[in-house]
Each structure stands twice: as C-alpha cells, then as structure tokens.
A and B are shown apart, each in its own frame.
Chain A
Amino acid sequence: MATIELIKVEKKFGDLHAVKPMDLTIHDGEFVVLLGPSGCGKTTTLRMISGLEAVTGGQILLNQRDVTWEKPSERDIAFVFQFFALYSHMTARQNIAFPLQAEGEKREVIRQRVEEVSRLLRMEHVLDVRPGQLSGGDQQRVALARALVRRPAAFLMDEPLGALDADFRETMRAEIKRLHIDQHATTVYVTHDQIEAMAMGDRIVVMSDAVVQQVSTPAQVYHDPANLFVARFIGSPGMNLVQGRYAQGALHLADGAAYTVPDEWVPSLNAATGGDGDLILGFRPEAAVVGPESQIPARVYAADLHGGYTMLHLELDPDTIIHARTTREAQYPINTPVRFDLNPSMVRFFDPATEAAISPEVRA
C-alpha cells in the first residue's frame, strides 16, 4: 500500500495553467476524491500522478520515492478509465490476466489471482464473455478486476462511473466503496459528480479553474465550505446564497426583510464587516424551516417532487430564488406567500469581495 505526496505539482500548456502549483498528501489506505467541474484540472492532476502526463514543475513521491520522471509502468499504480479501455478481441478473463502476463507471471499464479479477483467482484459468470457483449456495469467490473489483479500500491480512477446509467452508477458506487474497505487500497478518484464524491471519499479535494479550493472530509465540505464555489458546488442543489447588508446584528435583505443573525455569529460578523457591510448568507435547503410565525417572507415559485421529499423553490425577490426541503405532505401552490426560519446551527456567512467563508470565531 502507499502514501502519495504531491509537492508544488503544476502543469502548464504553453502559457495556460492547467493545474496551479498544489500540495497534497494522500495517506496509506485513504480514498481521496478529486472533485470539480469540467476543465478544473482534476483529470490532469490524476494523469500526472500516473505518469501519463509529464509535470511542468514540482515533485511526486510514491512511498517516499521520487517518481516524478518514472515511466507509468514503473510506478506500481493501476489506472481505471472512464470508457473502460478493454481489449475487445479478448474475453473478460484474458483481459484481466493481461497485466500479469505482461509482467511475466507464472500461469498458475495468474489463474489463481484471476479467480480471486472475479470472486471478489462477483463476476465469475461473465469471465468467458467478450466485452462487447457485456453491459456497461459488467464492463466496468472487468476494468476494475484488471486493475485489482495487479495488487498495485495505489489505484487511480478517472470518472469510472461516468459512462454508466444512473442506477448502475449507484450500485457500482457502493461496490467500489466496499472493495476499497476490503482491500484497504490507497485510491485517488476523479469525478465531477459531488454525490459520488461525498458518498465515497475519505477526503475530498475540491478544484476549480486549476486551483484547489478545499481539502476536507465530506462532512466538512458540506457543513463548512471554505468559499462560495465549494458552497455552490457541493450538495444538490448547492447552498442557497443570499446577499444582504449587515448592520447591528441583522442582515437586511433586498426586499426589506430582515434576518436576525444568531447570537454566536454577531462578534465575528462585526469584526468582518466593521459593524456595517455587505455579507452573503448561506444555508442548505434542509436548514430552511417553513412556518407561519417565521422570520423571512417569500413566495412559492415552484415545487418539485423528489421522491421522498418535496423541494420548494421560493422567491425572495425577483432576482433571488432559494430552495427549501420539506416533507411531501404539505401542498404549496404557486405564488402562495410563505415564511421560513433558518436552523441557527446551519447558517454560514461569506465575504462578497473575497468569496471566502467567514469563520465563526473572532481572531484577535
């Protein structure tokens, strides 16, 4: 198993910074997810770790060994691709055996390992089928098996569930996670789907525009996003962000309504704004509690069924729509005026200029 360290790793294409210098330490057995929208640099980072892309600067250490300039085949890692990259003229079994054959393993060892891995992934029944005749999920299982069979120090996965149908994705997600727990293998996983990242990751590296925005556990990126990007990106839908003017312990919203800020926030907000300034209030849909005696007025813009719950879209003012999660039982016709409160432990505040989150503690 392995620790991976990235020291000031960067990648430029000409003058374009695909990945700005980043530091990252991945501990032994950890499942780290590189998360971000298209073009943020997550795939390039993964490819640099694997050696498929040469770094422009910085160093990559695998188990304290400098592998920055080592060929991909010498790095003892396995790569799982989004579009499987299976050999279509070989059966699944031959595909899985291929890496071991390339390394020159004995035939008996190969056979044993292939059986072991296929039992682990519960795919014995498709071993003698060609990939072209397998479903997407089974094809991805073969790709995973091919990676597992090598027993590498680390697994690198590039959006492996991206090519699968939505319900397959769910099943495979749990399987990969279970595999990881069994094998305790260091894994670096790239995805743009924040649900996947949250469900699977021990830690999530949120990236945007070649820069790392936050590196934390799923709970932390969800409840304490470091900036507006992370707040918006994590969660479906993302965090509600409402701009207002803060003065004397209350946030004044666009249409005149005022939200009394929870007491514990007053000192740090005073410090951040100097007593009077613009702020962005952030809260997740489940933090909003709709009720007749509540503080903030709004109007129902739309209501969607999401299966077990209803998502209400509330219009605070013509430019601001927030999402609130409620139970299915209540009915909310369009344009009904409602009022809602916010769970005081679930509100967050951001500085509109720097986009950074404001810490609840005042630093002296």
Chain B
Amino acid sequence: MSNVTLRHITKRFKDVTALDDVSFDIKDGEFFVLLGHTGAGKTTTLRVIAGLERQDAGDVLFDDEAVNTFAPADRDIAFVFQQYSLYPNMTVFDNLAFPLRSPLRKAPAAEIQTRVTEVAEKLRITHLLDRKTAKLSGGEMQRVSIGRAIVRQPRIYLMDEPLSNLDAKLREALRIELQHLQKVEGSTTLFVTHDQIEALTMADRIAVLNAGRIVQIGTPYDIYDRPATTFVAQLVGIPRINLLEATRENGTLYVPDSTVRLAIPPGKALPETFLLGIRPEDVRLASDGPLQGEVALTEPLGVETVIHIRSGKHTLLSIVPGITDLKIGDPIAFDITQDRLHTFDLNGDRVGE
C-alpha cells in the first residue's frame, strides 16, 4: 500500500476550472473520503490520480515519487466506478479474472483461480461465479466491482461513489462491509461521495470539496464539531444545521425576527452581525425553556422525531428522541445548548474562537 500526495493540482476543461489548487495527502492504509456536491470536482480528482486525466498544473505523488507521466496501467491503482464497471457479456469469474489476465500481469491460470476464489469468498459471491453479470442484482454487481478492484492488490483503491446507485438498505449493508474490509486489509483508499453519512461513518479523514477547492480537511469529528465554513456546517449533519443571522448587543446575541435570545458564552469574540449555527440536537425541548415557539411540522423517523419550530419569521429544526404527540400549531418552549454554538462571519468563515 502507498501513501498519496496531491500538490497544487489545477485542472481546466475549456473555460471551466474543475480543480483549483487542490492539495492533500493520504497516509498509507488510510480511508480518505472526498466529500462534496455533484460537480464539485470529486470525480475529476480521482481521474487525475488514476491518470485518466492529465492535470494542467501540480503533481501527483505515490510514496513521494511523482507519477505525473505514468500511464494509468503503470500507476498500479484500482478504480471502482459508479456504474458500468462490469463487462456484461462475461461471467462473474471472467470479470474478476480480467485484471489478472492483462498483459502487464500475465498471471498463470492456477494463480488466477486461487486469487479469484479467495476474493469471491471475502465478498460472499462464490455462488455467483458462473453467472453472467447482466443477470445480477444491483448490490451483487457492485460487490463484483469491488472484487475486481481487490483482486489486483494495488497500491491504492479509488472509489467513485460506488454506493450511490443502490437502494438505501443495500447501501447501508455494503457500507458496513466495505468499512470492515478496508480495516482488515489495511488498504489505502480514496472514496468519493456526496453522502455525508458515508463520509462520517467510513472515513479516517475527510476532505470537503466545493467548486474545485478544498474547504476543509479533518477527521469526522473535526468536520462535524468544528466546521471551518458555513458550507461545511451545512453539508454534514442530518437534519441540517440551523443557520441564522444574529446580532450582538452587550452580552447577548439576538436573532432578529425571532424569539431566540442567548447569553454569549465567555471567551467568544464576535463581530456585531454574524451567522449563528445550531445543530438540531442542541435545540432541546423543555417545558421550562426560556425560548418560545410554535410547532410548524413534525417528521417522525422512528428513533427520533424532527420538529420544525417556528420562531418569529424563522424556522428552527430540533430533534427529539422517540415519538412525540406534538401537533402542528402547538406552542412549545425550548432551550439551546450554550457551549455547542457555531459562529461564522457573514462571509461564512468560522469566527469567535
């Protein structure tokens, strides 16, 4: 396994800058996630690392060696595509064996047999080896795609949103399996996704990408607890963070046109107007709570319920455990956990530390 470094990668497509001075490094054996919206440049980053695209500026290094001029085949990487990974007219066995039969490897038949069976066992698809890939279900297909990547034992795995096209339940199951597999094998993996649950649960470290620029790099805890910008704050967290414009006056912060009024925690230096971020789990319903509001909507999710609280002209999201019998229009009292406030300046950058 290798470590990978990207230094100042820039890539343009005609007049669109897909990647703008992107730099990060992936340690050996790390599960690194690139998180961002569709079109943020995640796939382009993967393709540049794979050698399927040539960057306009910057270097890609594997184990501190520049691989800019290496062809994809020479970089010894494995790529799992979002779809169209498998050859429809070949059996699962042939699909898995395909990388091993390449002219670069020319592995003998016996070795191919052992490797393929081994990988099939790991992914629990041994019973599918003789089937044509066109006849598999979505989850099975994706398992075979992952198998094709594993069978080669490359330096690094590149995965382009491999779970996005699957049903929610399948995604969950495969996610946990992938996680476990990666920990067991210790393989360096770069995983690209727009789903923040995948990012938070699977990653050792996350890089948030927005319109071709890296916004923040950190562990899942860093990204969740200390988002560097409002973009990152809104990107992670379900339900999404409450973001309100607030003003400071003496020792209190106010959200205009709402009932929200809080004492400023000590040690926080804030500009006069700023953006206040409150995670829904930090908005607690309390019958003796100091803040007032009205229930606008309830969304029962089983394990918890999302309550939309209307406070003046603003709506706050709160999350409460279990089922509630609150109805739309009920008046409600709530409180906000003081030491978990996020504050940003009007440009969206974190402020007030």
Direct contact of A and B (CB under 8 A): yes
Interface residues of A (CB under 8 A from B): 37-38, 165-167, 170, 173-174, 177-178, 181, 192-195, 198-200, 218-219, 222-223, 232-238, 284-286, 302, 304-309, 311, 313, 325
Q: Which residues of A contact B172 (CB under 8 A)?
A: 236-237
Contact (Cβ within 8 A) A218 B169: no
Quick one: given A237-B172, A302-B180, are A325 and B279 in contact (CB under 8 Å)? Answer: no
Quick one: given A218-B300, A236-B172, A237-B172, are A167 and B221 in contact (CB under 8 Å)? Answer: no
Contact (Cβ within 8 A) A285 B303: yes
A194 to B168, CA, bound (A): 8
Contact (Cβ within 8 A) A304 B194: no
Contact (Cβ within 8 A) A305 B279: no
Stretch of B75-83, B86-94, B104-112, B236-244 that contacts chain A: B236-244
Stretch of B49-57, B127-135, B195-203, B249-257 that contacts chain A: B195-203
Q: Would you call B215 an interface residue if the criterion is a C-beta within 8 Å of the partner chain's C-beta atoms?
A: no
**Which one of A218, A232, A305 lies within 8 Å of B201 (CB-CB)?**
A305
Interface residues of B (CB under 8 A from A): 37-38, 137-138, 167-170, 172, 176, 179-180, 183, 194-197, 200-202, 220-221, 224, 234-240, 279-281, 297, 299-303, 306, 308, 319, 321-323, 328
**Which one of B137, B183, B196, B323 lies within 8 Å of A166 (CB-CB)?**
B196
Contact (Cβ within 8 A) B197 A306: yes
Question: From A328, which residue of chain B is reached at the shortest CB distance?
Answer: B221
Quick one: given A200-B299, A218-B302, A222-B302, are A167 and B224 in contact (CB under 8 Å)? Answer: no
Contact (Cβ within 8 A) A167 B240: yes
| With A195-B301, A222-B302, A307-B238 already in contact, 12 other A-B pairs whose C-beta atoms are closer than 8 Å | A38-B138, A165-B38, A170-B238, A170-B240, A181-B328, A218-B300, A222-B300, A223-B323, A286-B321, A304-B179, A307-B236, A313-B176
Q: Which residues of B contact A284 (CB under 8 A)?
A: 302-303
Contact (Cβ within 8 A) B237 A198: no
Q: Would you list the 3 A-B pairs with minimal beta carbon distance, nearest first? A: A222-B302, A308-B281, A199-B299
Question: From A222, which residue of chain B is reached at the shortest CB distance?
Answer: B302
Contact (Cβ within 8 A) B168 A305: no
Q: Which residues of B contact A170 (CB under 8 A)?
A: 238-240
Quick one: given A199-B300, A218-B300, are A193 and B238 in contact (CB under 8 Å)? Answer: no
A307 to B323, CA, bound (A): 20
Q: Which residues of A contact B196 (CB under 8 A)?
A: 166-167
Q: Which residues of A contact B306 (CB under 8 A)?
A: 199
Contact (Cβ within 8 A) A235 B302: yes
Question: From A219, which residue of chain B is reached at the shortest CB distance?
Answer: B323
A37 to B280, CA, bound (A): 30
Contact (Cβ within 8 A) A37 B169: yes
Q: Which residues of B contact A306 (CB under 8 A)?
A: 197, 200-201
A219 to B324, CA, bound (A): 10
A59 to B213, CA, bound (A): 56
Question: From B168, which residue of chain A is reached at the shortest CB distance?
Answer: A193
